[in-house]
């Protein structure tokens, strides 16, 4: 019997369109606050690659009533922590604080929802910060951008799905304050956001505080989402590039999966399949490729290019990636993946294999939302994308209900003709 959660969920919407999710938990005297905006890498305008991430930085450079660095000072001065992050389909901002500092967090988030300080000085220094991040995380790092930046342009054809979400230096340097203001007006609307609070608070008090601080944020409706749709692949796509810093070869492949939002029942078997193939020493590909054949030094599998299966829209993919030893044979690795997918589709799972995998997955789900901030963040994303924050309580059960037949059917769909692959040639071996 798999464990389940029963986190309470209270939802309401302010007159300005802001959606709010409250989930109280008095087990520890802390609160997690998450604000999620329904805009991510896929929504950024053409010619402005990296803009969603750049704007995340700008949201920390002061706001309507607060000077630069004030957000840092007020959160840390309360004994709290904070950050933000940009994803393919959303951007989040969050704090963990002592329970008695909840109002402070709400004030800070409401103030920058009214408007960040979009000045030429702030824009230029944050462009430089993002450029340095690209240098550190992509350009000057072995396997930088592999596979999350390298594989989408192989698999996809449209700008929203295929472009470099970190951004080109040319596009970043061309950004103007007017561009930033337009982006804020369009995407950082109250009607395009969710505030989620989890932890030690009284629901009535928290609701009153949210209304106090957010009710006067100007009402602007959510913009229409761009069309992200693309047809599935009908023939294999492959690209190879040399990484001057990589000491060893690597390869990553991806296959499209059903729509996570419109077809959760069809999607979940792929989430479980990725774990069957790669989670732990007893998994199919680890046992075969790493332990028996020694064809790779590591192999991993996950859903979505950022590995967040319950926080992504269609189109997305199941990814398998591996690093090879010196002189490793990429073709052999791909053949082995094909063989194991065929064997799983035709012969099914070993006794206890599915139950073991589901138990591990449920453990991870419970661990990731045990802390109040993880719970608030996940519920905020579920509300933004599905209008169902309470799905958090159902996910362990739904994972446990995936059947062997569904896994076999998903494995059968991992065909060569639906595969996109990117291969890293090691250029730094010497």
Q: How many residues does the chain have?
A: 430
**The pairing of beta strand 30-37 with beta strand 91-98:** antiparallel
Q: pLDDT class for 2, splitting at 50, 70, 90?
A: confident
118-170: per-residue pLDDT in tens? 999 999 999 999 999 999 999 999 999 999 999 999 999 999 999 999 999 99
Place of tokens 């719970």: 375
289-338: per-residue pLDDT in tens? 999 999 999 999 999 999 999 999 999 999 999 999 999 999 999 999 99
* pLDDT, mean of residues 37-51: 96
Question: What one-character-per-residue DSSP string does 365-399 give?
Answer: HHHHTTSHHHHHHHHHHHHHHHS-TTHHHHHHHHH
The answer to whether 196 and 122 are in contact (CB under 8 A) is: no
pLDDT tops 70 at residue 429: no
The pLDDT of residue 203 is 98
β strands within 140-248, DSSP E? 193-199, 237-243
Cα 9 to Cα 37, 99, 203, 310, 387: the distances in Å are 20, 18, 10, 18, 12
Cα 338 to Cα 13, 234, 349, 417: the distances in Å are 48, 17, 16, 11
**The pairing of beta strand 19-24 with beta strand 193-199:** parallel
Cα 342 to Cα 8, 278, 319, 376: the distances in Å are 43, 15, 17, 40
Q: Considering only CA atoms, which of 11, 219, 203, 217 is closest in space to residue 102?
A: 203
Name every residue whose Cβ is closer than 8 Å to that of residue 211 and which is 6 or more positions away in sequence: 14
177-214: per-residue pLDDT in tens? 999 999 999 999 999 999 999 999 999 999 999 999 99
| SS3 label, residue 34 | strand
337-372: per-residue pLDDT in tens? 999 999 999 999 999 999 999 999 999 999 999 999
Phi, psi of 195 (to 5 degrees): -105, 125
Query: Is the alpha carbon torsion for 380, 383, 384, 386 positive or negative?
Result: positive
Q: Considering only CA atoms, which of 297, 251, 298, 246 is closest in space to residue 426?
A: 246
Q: How far apart are CA 314 and CA 317, in angstroms?
A: 9
Cα 380 to Cα 21, 194, 270: the distances in Å are 7, 6, 24
pLDDT tops 90 at residue 266: yes
87-118: per-residue pLDDT in tens? 999 999 999 999 999 999 999 999 999 999 99
The number of CA neighbours under 13 Å toward the Cβ of 379 is 30
Q: Which helix (H) or strand (E) holds 24?
A: strand 19-24
Please give the model's pTM, rounded to 2 decimal places: 0.97
* pLDDT, mean of residues 173-178: 97
């Amino acid at each position: 019997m798999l464990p389940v959660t029963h986190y309470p969920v209270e939802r309401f919407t302010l007159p300005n369109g802001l959606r709010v999710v409250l989930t109280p938990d008095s087990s520890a005297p802390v609160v997690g606050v998450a604000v999620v905006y329904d805009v991510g890498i896929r929504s950024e305008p053409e010619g402005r690659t990296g803009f969603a991430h750049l704007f995340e930085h700008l949201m920390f450079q002061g706001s309507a009533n607060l000077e630069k660095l004030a957000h840092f000072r007020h959160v840390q001065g309360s004994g709290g922590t904070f950050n933000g992050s940009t994803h393919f389909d959303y951007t989040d901002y969050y704090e963990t604080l002592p329970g008695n500092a909840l109002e402070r967090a709400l004030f800070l988030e409401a103030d920058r929802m009214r408007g960040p300080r979009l000045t030429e000085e702030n824009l230029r220094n944050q462009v430089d910060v993002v450029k340095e991040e690209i240098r550190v995380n992509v350009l000057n790092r072995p396997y930088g951008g592999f596979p999350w930046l390298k594989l989408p342009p192989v698999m996809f054809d449209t700008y929203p799905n295929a472009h470099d979400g970190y951004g080109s230096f040319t596009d970043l340097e061309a950004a103007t304050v007017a561009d930033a203001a337009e982006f804020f007006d369009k995407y950082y609307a109250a009607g395009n956001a969710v505030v989620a609070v989890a932890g030690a608070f009284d629901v009535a008090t928290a609701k009153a505080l949210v209304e106090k601080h957010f009710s006067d944020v100007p009402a602007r409706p959510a913009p229409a989402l761009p069309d992200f749709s693309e047809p599935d692949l009908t023939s294999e796509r492959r690209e190879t590039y040399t990484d001057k810093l990589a000491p060893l070869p690597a390869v990553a492949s991806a296959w499209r999966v059903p729509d996570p939002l419109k077809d959760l029942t069809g999607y979940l078997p792929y989430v479980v399949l990725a774990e069957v193939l790669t989670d732990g020493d007893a998994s199919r590909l680890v046992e075969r490729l790493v332990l028996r054949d020694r064809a790779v030094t590591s192999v991993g599998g996950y859903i979505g290019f950022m590995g967040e299966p319950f926080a992504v829209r269609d189109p997305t993919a199941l990814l398998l990636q591996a690093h090879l030893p010196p002189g490793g044979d990429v073709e052999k690795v791909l053949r082995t993946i094909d063989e194991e997918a065929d064997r799983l589709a035709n012969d099914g799972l070993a006794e206890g294999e599915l139950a073991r995998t589901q138990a591990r997955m449920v453990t991870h789900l419970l661990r990731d939302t045990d802390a109040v901030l993880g719970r608030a963040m996940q519920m905020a994303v579920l509300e933004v994308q599905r209008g169902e924050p309470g799905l958090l309580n159902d996910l362990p059960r739904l994972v446990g209900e995936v059947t062997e037949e569904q896994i076999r059917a998903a494995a059968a769909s991992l065909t060569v003709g639906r595969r996109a692959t990117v291969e890293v040639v090691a250029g730094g071996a010497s």
